[in-house]
Amino acid sequence: NPPKIETGLTPSEVVYRKHRVKLLHYKPRTEQVHQTPILIVFALVNKPYVLDLIPGKSVVEFLVNRGFDVYLLDWGIPTGIDNNKGLDVYIENYLDSSVDWILEKTGESRLTLMGYCMGGSMSLMYAALHREKIRNLITMATPFDFSDEEGILFKWSKEFPFEELVETYDCCPGWYLNLSFSSLKPMGNPDKMKTFYDKMLDEKFMKLFLAMEKWAADSKPVPGKAYMEFMKGCFRENLLIQNRFPVGEKT
């Protein structure tokens, strides 16, 4: 009977919405506040609470405790109506309108953009198109050069018929993403279970373990058009590093 683990506990409020997308604001916890706001952009693949996992293991908590004014873009859970939305909708509509809202609210002319994973790749695209709005660009675990010949995910992606996946499901299903990520390390689950057995009486370990397991199994579907554009333009054709990646009518 594992305990229910609460995640995303740093206090926040939804300050802006557009369709399913929510902009969360985390207030700084210090008297002196850094002037430049930070906007965290997460991947379309997973839920963003891994950056605010549990107290003591939270990027968001770390930042607000040091006086940063932090915002986070939560893309929400897409449904069938979102499957025809391409990356241009997410980058040039949802992300750009959120940046404009923050700049207008804070009175700043530029902000710090922090992108994680696929959200980092999308942040690179946004910064290339809107450099005038960006003071700092921070990328975490962000793929940029997709010519890698060693990584299993890169190998799969160059061969995988993702067109058929989208044709069948109209999206990239969350269950498929969970299966893919777990398959990257076939011995990962046995190793993980052994560690669990060895440390299951350690309350601190157990709390973090269960929180990470909750997040790792919590992938969400990616809208079909956006998924196709990212897989084809990045993994298959490696256009981003060549300055040739199309975002709608822009490059």
Q: Residue 2 has what DSSP assignment?
A: P
- Residue 199, classed as helix, strand or coil, is helix
Question: Which one of 117, 171, 172, 234 is the catalytic residue?
Answer: 117
171 is catalytic: no
CA dihedral (102, 124, 52, 69) positive or negative: negative
Sheet of 134-140: strand order equals 13-18, 21-26, 70-74, 38-41, 111-116, 134-140
Give the separation between CA 177 and CA 198, rounded to whole angstroms: 29
Report H helices in the chain: 59-64, 87-88, 96-106, 118-129, 152-159, 162-169, 174-183, 188-199, 203-216, 224-230
What is the set of active-site residues?
117
